[in-house]
A and B are shown apart, each in its own frame.
Chain A
């Protein structure tokens, strides 16, 4: 088998695209040492091989995972793709190669570097998404609930079932500032869309009052004699604080939305066309 020392695959950044990279590698009997999403800058003398996304090829690889490896491995790979690991493509690629060779027991090869790194990345993703189930803070705008988050991993697909189930009769939106994506739920339908910018209207007095009550409750419930800021930081690192109501010092919407806000009556968002979102069904 050819082991191209500087073989680079450039794919379109979608999960299907990555599956096509796996297909290509098996078909050409070659192993790339970098698989590159479009967000990474091309070098001057770029020799990357462009891998076209082909639904049929992607499906062949994807559907073979539960048969040749295990259903858990398929789930695992899908989660792996949502992580923020900078080498997630290569990890998934090597994991699948290992899996096609060893079968279902690849999931138990915890001492293997690839398996262990991918598991760490997935644990980071799932624990972050679990944290956000609690740390997301909605504000009420008329009939609509809107929250902004800044996660490291792409957690929206994992948050979607939880919030859609919990707030069945609500209309809500969770905007992921990091990835420029939003989860929108209305009339019992959830959608993940690409949002370039979000403009929020001013909040009303009832909203301000509940924020005030919550902040007061947050302050009161702590027992002074047990004060332990370090412990709080361990469970709730500072990077989450910026979007949480209890840490918003100025009462009112001003600080909360600085970078997003132009005074406008409606929450508006811009959707880019033709963007395929990796979904977790």
Chain B
């Protein structure tokens, strides 16, 4: 049976869609004469799909043939589905033609394991080499490293890509043994360590030789599945922190488990994906990367999971009320960042504005600080906000929880007097947010 590009694209993008990473950020590269393409440090979103996630890269598998039998995956060998593969030429044509029309920022290439990890990696190298040297593609490329491939091959692949990732998927060895019998912690962490080492080595090379070719200039990332196994948020977040510190990862993505297979070891097929839990993890991830928090401040053995009613930062603040209220005109930057509702941009603007004149509440509004949550935790020129009545800690707790009415998972009839409903906008902001 001959399958045309249209059908291949349908099958191979459908199999790739559960990979949540779609960022095109982390590297600035000018266009080159004779080539097509450039890369922007902040990343660029080219569209948003119906689920609200950003589409930045042409996200496809090279092939959905796979010898592995990971229970949670649509492409597992025991699943009876149509198997297809792109030729390097088809893939290059598709990428270039989408890129010319500004549909995409680049290519996100992943693959099932065909024959063995080394053979698969060679196929990926072949496709990227064609794209880079024959089609002179200078745009963004994110490629998956295949667990278990040789170091030499991973190095060659890394020289062709901007970002590389190896998905850990399951946060513990026990879960891996159970659900991904062909993968081990070692087979994932070894290439990850190798990529980290190569990136650092490459940085020193670049200092010495200006024209040293760049190895994975936008760094590496990984993905963890949330909700397929009983692993706690504490475990996931501690692992995440370790990955940032030890492996210098650029991003750790979380993917709420979507049931794709009936298996006694997995949640049943009618399980709703834990989107809110995923959202809390992303919020915590932001706190680790940009707000100077540590994982142990947010969760511990006694409280191993996030409170779904309140966001992690607010939760932290409620447990540390002795540190508040904070005087906006005096507080140091690190403390401003810890006020619920004040983000990095707001904190920077406050710092800038107060150098000029003391700020009051109306000034804060003009700067663009959202006071909805922050109002309970701050003073301006020694005063709390007008009309704000706070009697005890209990009141604050009640007020905060009220703003976080959980959205019902089922559609409900519209009522004239609807309850304040939390939007999922910020949920997706995390998913699609660029570094």
Contacts and interface: CB of A to CB of B under 8 A. Distances in A.
Co-complex (A, B): yes
Interface of A: 105, 108-111, 113, 116, 120, 130, 133-140, 145, 147, 162, 165-170, 210, 212-214, 216-218, 220-232, 234-236, 244-246
A147 B13 contact: no
Nearest to B275: A226
Contacts of A235: 45, 48, 52, 54, 428, 432
Contact of B102 (A147, A169, A213): A147
Interface residues of B, number: 66
A229 B32 CA distance: 38
A231 B52 contact: yes
Given A134-B47, A222-B50, A229-B50, A108 B356 contact: yes
User: Which of the listed residues B10, B49, B105, B349 has the most CB atoms from chain A within 10 Å of its own CB?
Assistant: B49
17 contacts: A109-B356, A134-B47, A135-B46, A136-B102, A140-B100, A140-B101, A145-B101, A169-B33, A169-B36, A170-B100, A214-B101, A217-B9, A225-B258, A226-B51, A226-B273, A228-B428, A231-B423
A168 B51 contact: no
A160 to B, nearest CB: 13
B5 A213 contact: yes
Interface in B262-279: 272-273, 275
Nearest to B364: A111
User: Which of the listed residues A135, A210, A214, A223 has the most CB atoms from chain B within 10 Å of its own CB?
Assistant: A223
A214 B38 CA distance: 21
Contacts of B51: 222-224, 226-228, 231-232
A213 B50 CA distance: 17
Contacts of B48: 231-232, 235-236
B355 interface: yes
Given A116-B366, A226-B273, A139 B101 contact: yes
Interface string B14-35: 1011100000000000111111
A231 B100 contact: no
Nearest to A113: B366
Given A108-B353, A214-B101, 10 more contacts: A111-B357, A116-B367, A134-B44, A135-B47, A162-B40, A167-B100, A169-B33, A218-B47, A223-B18, A226-B51
B352 interface: yes
User: Which of the listed residues A139, A224, A231, A236 has the most CB atoms from chain B within 10 Å of its own CB?
Assistant: A231
A143 to B, nearest CB: 11
Interface string B405-435: 0000000000000000001110110001000
A127 B368 CA distance: 15
Interface in B260-314: 272-273, 275
A74 B31 CA distance: 28
A120 B59 CA distance: 35
A170 B99 CA distance: 12
Nearest to B139: A166
B357 A168 contact: no
B128 interface: no
B103 A221 contact: no
Interface in B84-106: 94, 97-98, 100-103, 105
Nearest to A109: B356
A215 B428 CA distance: 22
Given A210-B97, A213-B6, A231-B427, A134 B46 contact: yes
A245 B101 contact: yes
Contacts of A170: 36, 100
Contacts of A231: 48, 51-52, 423-425, 427-428
Closest 7 CB pairs of A and B: A231-B52, A111-B363, A222-B49, A228-B52, A110-B353, A226-B51, A165-B31
A221 B37 contact: no
User: Which of the listed residues B101, B258, B425 has the most CB atoms from chain A within 10 Å of its own CB?
Assistant: B101
Nearest to B12: A220
Nearest to B272: A225
B98 A214 contact: yes
B49 A109 contact: no
B82 to A, nearest CB: 14
A133 B52 contact: no
A210 B6 CA distance: 10
B160 interface: no
A255 to B, nearest CB: 17
B130 interface: no
A145 B96 CA distance: 14
B32 A168 contact: yes
Nearest to B59: A221
B149 interface: no
A223 B258 contact: yes
A138 B101 contact: yes
B270 to A, nearest CB: 11
A221 B98 CA distance: 15
Contacts of A138: 100-102
